[in-house]
Amino acid sequence: MMRALGYPRLISMENFRNPNFPLVAEVLKWLVKRYDPNADIPGDTDTEQDRVIFIKSVAEFMATKAHIKLNTKKLYQSDGYAVKELIKVTAMLYNAMKTNTAGQVDGEGEDDSSMISFDISSRISDLKEARRLATEITTKGATLYDLLGKEVDLRLSDHNFKEIYLQEQRSMVIAKSLEINEVESGMAGSIKAVENEIKKTLTMLDNVASDEANLEAKIEKKKSELERNNKRLTTLQSVRPAYMDEYEKLEEDLEKLYDAYMIRFRNLTYLESQQEEYHRAEQDKFEETEEKLKLMAAKLKHEDTRGERITQDDIMGMFLC
């Protein structure tokens, strides 16, 4: 069928025995251009993200233009399963070529000998809008695919069955083919949710504006009160109180009395210390006299035992010694 449609290369199943994404991408580009020469499909397939965007763009184009549902996962595998998806588009073009009786030959080459003419002038606005939506959906889908793909590397606990179940559900969602109706309903729901959030934000902004006005009024009121209080404070500071003269005189008298009190306190402390020293000296003298009397009494007692008589003069002499 590819040869009948005018594809310039020979293709066999051997080409798809191993994954061959460049060939699949080339065939898809050729089939899309064969269907609509004005189709806008991304041509970069160098990186993984570019390939995902390319596959999803082709699938979106075929779903919206030809109403053919392609399995993007099988196309991305680029093996024998991808051939089955390519046959869907090829069979549609081949059947259209056989039933089209208005085909024309333009003479510019064998590749353009059986080009199908599609009249899309009546729906050009719908096509532009569909193309824009397809590009946007493809970009969003690729971003979502990358974000979901990062979850595969997460290490789940053996006993966390809930997380394992969620991971399986995510894997099923990733492997699921893209449904236009589901995407449209999801986008409509997201748009509605965003609109509601915008309304809430606008309402909050209105409330903030009213609160700001109230705060400004309160600030102005507090400023006026502060100015009045500052003026009153300045006035009070500039006026001398009536009792200030008496206060200063009493303060001077108090200072003089305090000086006199300190002098008397120091004198009293000195006299008390002198008195203590005098009493201490008298006590020492009394103790010394008492000790001498005891010695003299002991001596007299000793002499009496020896039969000696001591005169009063001797006693006084001993006492004065």
The tally of domains found in the chain comes to 2
CA–CA separation, 278 and 274 (whole Å): 6
- Measured between alpha carbons, how far is residue 198 from residues 191, 195, 204, 217 in Å? 10, 5, 10, 29
SS3 15: helix
pLDDT in tens, 201-241: 888 888 888 888 889 999 999 999 999 999 999 888 888 77
How long a stretch of residues is the chain? 321
Distance (Å, whole) CA 142 – CA 300: 135
Give pLDDT tens digits for 34-93: 888 888 788 778 888 888 888 888 888 888 888 888 888 888 888 878 888 888 888 888
Is 163 part of a structural domain of the chain? yes
Q: Which of 74, 81, 86 is nearest to 32 (CA)?
A: 86
Q: Is residue 220 part of a domain?
A: no
Tell how many helices (H) and how many strands (E) occur in the chain.
Answer: 10, 0
The confidence band for 176, taking pLDDT boundaries of 50, 70 and 90, is low
Can you give the pLDDT at residue 288?
92
Question: Does the residue 36 lie in any domain?
Answer: yes
Domain match, 173 and 264 both: no
Answer yes or no: is 24 within a domain.
yes
The domain in which residue 255 lies consists of 248-320
